[in-house]
């Protein structure tokens, strides 16, 4: 059991309106990350990360057992580095750690590190939902983001459109029926056997390739679910697997320049995401005036540009975290933890805490974060 006491929770609770120093740990997939921030100013005191691209690239996907091994080696290192970065007099008030969704064994490694550190520092440790961390991190840099807002979350494991009412309260409008958007980018780059995928995100590699390509109408890659809303199960779903398969088949034919294939794939994937967002805005605007775009794919320049254009047309402010905060990091976990903590009632805060008995969650949709 963690030795967190009610007094410690009260100590942090009483600091709620003042400056909180929060340490965030992320290990849900293949990145071991630690971030330390001040809340509510958003000052980043430390941001340490290690990736595992080189470990998994030859397997065609994340290998959980290898990922855990890497976290076990890397987490203590990034933790030590982060703690060494801050002045020794800085007192950490709260530890936040991702407890789902993700690979259970990987999450467990992060949770164990968090609980160990909490015992040493005698501070509370709370669980954070990875998707909420992506959703809320933009507020660290942009204090004009106001609840409720619409959120497009596009990452390697998730793709969904939701309304973010407050921390802990999210209304899902639609999610992907098959692949996540980032997953499709990753699989296409894998079909190309691009060696760069050993050192960078597949999506980022594809984006660089697409920049060298040009429109090529003979490719005819399909944009999914283009038809009227009633043909979709709920109206706001995404689908990327058809596009991914068509692209892989086109690559295999060897008839077109790979740069043009990357260009057309990216164009079709972005167009599909934009179509869904537009449908969402049609139903939810003017109730929401801001659209937050987050997750690893939100660092894509074409997506940023096209969503910016859509926002200007629809008179909706479109907000992106800085690209570095779009991909997985510990800062977002620290920020989301602090934001959730600050918005929770006194009697709710103890429900956010984790102990050695807390189980990591492989599946944990945004709609299931409420404490009541």
Point out which residues bind Zn ion (CB under 5 A).
Answer: 155, 328
Handedness of CA 96, 101, 106, 107 (dihedral sign): positive
CB 272 within 8 A of CB 242: no
Min. distance of Cβ 51 from ligand KG4 in angstroms?
9
Selection from ligand KG4, Zn ion, none that 93 binds (CB < 5 to 8 A by kind) is: none
Burial of 164 (0-12, 13-18, 19+ CB in 10 A): buried
> Which residue from 110, 124, 157, 174 is in contact with ligand KG4, where contact means CB under 6 A?
157
Contact flag: residue 93 with ligand KG4 (CB under 6 A): no
Task: Specify the residue for token string 């008839």.
Answer: 255
Site for ligand KG4 in 190-219 (CB under 6 A): 201-204, 207
Selection from Zn ion, ligand KG4, none that 242 binds (CB < 5 to 8 A by kind) is: none
Q: Is 320 left (phi over 0), alpha (psi -120 to 50) or beta?
A: beta
| Structure token pair of residue 165 | 């009412």
Residue 129 or 155 having the CB closest to Zn ion: 155
Residue 126 or 133 having the CB closest to ligand KG4: 133
Residue 29 or 336 having the CB closest to ligand KG4: 29
Selection from ligand KG4, Zn ion, none that 299 binds (CB < 5 to 8 A by kind) is: ligand KG4
Stretch that binds ligand KG4, among 110-118, 229-237, 294-302, 330-338 (CB under 6 A): 294-302
Alpha-carbon distance values, 352 to 59, 280, 328 (Å) = 37, 31, 21
Burial of 245 (0-12, 13-18, 19+ CB in 10 A): middle
Rounded Cα distance, 216 and 263, in Å = 8
| Structure token pair of residue 45 | 């005191």
**Stretch 14-33: interaction string toward ligand KG4, x if CB under 6 A:** ---------------x----
| Structure token pair of residue 48 | 């340490």
Task: Specify the residue for token string 């449908």.
Answer: 279
Selection from ligand KG4, Zn ion, none that 327 binds (CB < 5 to 8 A by kind) is: ligand KG4
Binding-site ranges for ligand KG4 (CB under 6 A): 29, 155-157, 182-183, 185-186, 201-204, 207, 295-297, 299-300, 327-328
């Amino acid at each position: 059991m963690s030795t967190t006491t009610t007094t410690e929770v009260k100590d942090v609770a009483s600091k709620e309106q003042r400056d909180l120093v929060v340490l965030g740990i992320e290990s849900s997939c293949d990145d071991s990350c630690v971030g330390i921030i001040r809340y509510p100013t958003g000052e980043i005191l430390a941001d340490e990360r290690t990736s595992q691209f080189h470990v998994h690239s030859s397997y065609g996907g994340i290998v959980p057992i290898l990922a855990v091994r890497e976290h076990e080696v890397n987490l203590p290192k990034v933790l030590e580095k982060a703690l060494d970065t801050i002045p020794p007099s800085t007192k950490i008030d709260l530890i936040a750690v991702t407890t789902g969704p993700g690979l259970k064994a990987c999450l467990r490694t992060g949770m164990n590190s968090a609980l160990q550190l909490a015992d040493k520092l005698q501070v509370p440790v709370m669980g954070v939902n990875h998707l909420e961390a992506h959703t809320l991190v933009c507020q660290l840099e942009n204090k004009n983001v106001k609840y409720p807002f619409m959120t497009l979350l596009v990452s390697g494991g998730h793709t969904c459109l939701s309304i973010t009412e407050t921390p802990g309260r999210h209304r899902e409008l639609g999610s992907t029926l098959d692949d996540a958007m980032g997953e499709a980018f990753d699989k296409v780059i894998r079909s190309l056997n691009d060696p760069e995928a050993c050192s960078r995100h597949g999506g980022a590699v594809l984006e660089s390739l697409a920049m060298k390509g040009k429109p090529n109408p003979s490719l005819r890659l399909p944009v999914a679910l283009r038809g009227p809303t009633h043909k979709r199960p709920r109206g706001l779903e995404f689908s990327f697997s058809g596009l991914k398969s068509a692209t892989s088949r086109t690559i295999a034919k060897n008839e077109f320049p790979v740069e043009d294939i990357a260009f057309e794939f990216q164009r079709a994937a972005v167009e599909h995401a934009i179509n869904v967002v537009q449908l969402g805005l049609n139903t939810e605007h003017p109730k929401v005036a801001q659209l937050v775009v987050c997750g690893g794919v939100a660092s894509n320049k074409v997506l940023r540009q096209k969503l910016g254009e859509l926002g200007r047309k629809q008179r909706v402010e479109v907000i992106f975290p800085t690209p570095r905060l779009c991909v997985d990091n510990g800062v977002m976990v620290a920020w989301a933890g602090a934001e959730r903590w600050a918005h929770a009632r006194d009697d709710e805060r103890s429900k956010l805490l984790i102990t050695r008995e807390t189980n990591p969650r492989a599946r944990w949709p945004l709609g299931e974060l409420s404490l009541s």
